[in-house]
Amino acid sequence: MTTVLVTGGAGYIGSHACKALKAAGFTPVTFDSLVTGWEEAVKFGPFEKGDLLDRARLDEVFAKHKPAAVMHFAALSQVGESMQLPGKYWRNNTAGSLNLIEAMLAAGCKQMVFSSTCATYGDQDNVVLDENSLQMPINSYGKSKRAIEEMLEDFAVSDGLESVIFRYFNVAGADEEAEVGEHHVPETHLVPLILDAIDGKRGKLTVFGDDYGTPDGTCIRDYVHVMDLVDAHVLGVGWLKDGKGSRVFNLGTGDGFSVREVMDVAAQVTGGEVPHDVGPRRAGDCTKLVSGSERAKTELGWTPERSTLERMIKDAWRWHKTGGYG
């Protein structure tokens, strides 16, 4: 059985990726510092606690498990924090990824599926972004991810490292069996914030602006079900195993939902009201941000079949009712 090392495998997306890998016949080995991840989320394969900045620990794990490929999710991802503490993001995300790449190559592992982000495109409002769109990141989080993409390009030339890079947008939903799900501290994502507000676990939701040029005045974003997203990552491992070489893919539906639409569907699914206030716009928020994902659909054979708003919220609500981790 092929082993895949999953960095950040105790986090939201990484834990779902481990479940999908196991279902596809792989052995996922989670490597996670547990700074933002949860040991309770490691249910589908071995766990190795460690930090990407600890090269000796990485070498130990590669020698022990001999993974054929790496699925790399581990990263700090708070955009606001990245603007205030850029060194933290360059050190953790970029220097940590360099350590990981060099440990991979030293162990003879030359295939990586990398979790990048739409933040590498920066502030390009009201356009459909595809893999050829100009990359102009405007915060340290997006810049650190773009730097890792450039690293992968350089090590492909020098050492034959092959990578599948996924740039994706908003992720929502949870594992259909509610074995794992979304649990951040602090929570910043819209769907769990809405569910917490409905359930009385926090105060009123703040809607940042209702005067945008959209049908209901609120921002529109592209949402992908987490299980659709990790299916693409498993397809990415297969792509590399089949010798198809390095490739970049966007992952999204190309449609998008407004903040108001997300709130309305959440109210329908849960049978509760969403207590909320309308606040001023946040600096840097785009009116509409959606992804063109035709390449993933035509080349990878990826279909985001679960990524309806109702399905994402139903699955997130089922997970929400378990109480999460911790």
Q: Which residues are catalytic?
A: 141
Cβ–Cβ under 8 Å, residues 62 and 3: no
Return the half-sphere exposure (C-beta side, CA atoms, 13 A cut-off) of residue 24: 21
The CA angle 281-80-324, to the nearest 5 degrees, is 100
The C-alpha atoms of residue 35 and residue 205 are separated, in whole angstroms, by 26
Cβ pair 76, 92 in contact under 8 A: yes
Going by DSSP bridges, is the β-strand pair 127-129/276-279 parallel, antiparallel, or unpaired?
unpaired
Distance CA 37, CA 11 (A): 4
111 vs 123: CA distance, rounded Å: 31
Terminal CA-CA length for the chain: 32
Q: Token pair 């130990």 is at which residue?
A: 60
State the Cα–Cα distance between residues 173 and 181, nearest whole angstrom. Answer: 8
Alpha helices (H) in the chain, listed in sequence order:
12-23, 55-65, 79-84, 86-89, 96-106, 140-159, 190-198, 226-241, 259-270, 294-295, 309-320
At residue 22, the 3 state secondary structure works out as helix
Find, among 123, 110, 115, 122, the residue nearest to 148 by Cα: 115
**289-321: burial string, b at 16+ Cβ within 10 Å, e else:** bbbbbebbbeebebebebbbbebbbbbbbbbbe
Specify whether the CB–CB gap between 148 and 116 falls below 8 A: yes
**Would you call 12 exposed, middle or buried from its count of C-beta atoms within 10 A (0-12, 13-18, 19+)?**
buried
